[in-house]
Structure 1
Amino acid sequence: MRTLLTSCVVGVVVAVLSIGPAAAGGDDHDRARAALERGEVLPLRTILDKVEREYPGKVVDVELEREQGRWIYEIRLLRSGGALVRLDVDARDGTVLGIRAKGDNGGKP
């Protein structure tokens, strides 16, 4: 069930970043698509490949946000043992900027 949920969530994000702006709908999707086309962000698959190697777990949610002039992928993972972890990843180069476990006060990697 979790694998199916993960696949659906990742599929939706990948679809939004790979389809045309009119089909995606909304300014946020248009901005994300334009950033990808301009080379300001790496494709989500590239980011997920790196994250999955370095932080084992199931991806349950992905968001692409613009924060302080920088694109950030916010990736939520379900780790073995049930811990929910949020990674903030620089969308330009894949650097993990922060990691926070549920209930954590925002430790850095």
Structure 2
Amino acid sequence: MRTLVTSAVVGLVVAALAIGPVAAGGDDHDHDRARAALERGEVLPLRTILDKIEREHPGKVVEVELEREHGRWIYEIRLLRSGGALVRLDVDARDGTVLGIRSRGDNGGKR
């Protein structure tokens, strides 16, 4: 069942790639804000961010959120690594720089 849910989430992320960044919660207002940020050049397209992340951080993308924090757009990307660790990357949506990494899973700790 967990695999089915994970596949569904990944499927939604992939479907969203065709239309631009994913907004937190799927709220229409959030989606509109995210699209406007993309059109203004404030954020990179999600596909661009994911291409970079996939090269530098192995794992399966299971969730993506785009949030505005302290005047900056941040993609929060959750990856499931092969050993079962869940990793959250905070990525600057403007240039793709990884700002922070938190990990939970196979070693039980956070980073």
Question: Given the two structures, how large is their TM-score scaled by the length of structure 2?
Answer: 0.79
> Over aligned residues, Cα RMSD in angstroms?
2.3
User: Which of 8, 13, 16 is the matching residue for 1:5?
Assistant: 8
Structure 1 unaligned residues grouped into runs of 5+: 19-23
Instruction: Give the whole-Å Cα distance in 1 for the aligned partners of 2:84 and 2:27.
Output: 34
Aligned to 1:47: 49
Alpha-carbon spacing, 1:6–1:29, altered in 2? closer, same or farther (3 Å): closer
Alpha-carbon spacing, 1:42–1:63, altered in 2? closer, same or farther (3 Å): same
Aligned to 1:75: 77
User: Which of 9, 13, 17 is the matching residue for 1:14?
Assistant: 17
Contact kept? 1:9, 1:61, Cα under 8 Å: no
SS at match of 2:101: strand
Amino acid at match of 2:36: A
The percent identity for this pair of structures is: 72
State the shift of 1:80 in Å.
1.2
Give the total of aligned pairs.
Answer: 101
Aligned to 1:97: 99
Aligned to 1:21: none
Matched, 1:30 2:20: no
State the shift of 1:56 in Å.
0.5
State the shift of 1:10 in Å.
1.5
SS at match of 1:13: helix
Question: Given the two structures, how large is their TM-score scaled by the length of structure 1?
Answer: 0.80
Contact kept? 2:10, 2:63, Cα under 8 Å: no
Instruction: Give the whole-Å Cα distance in 2 for the aligned partners of 1:70 and 1:49.
Output: 21
Matched, 1:58 2:65: no
Structure 2 unaligned residues grouped into runs of 5+: none
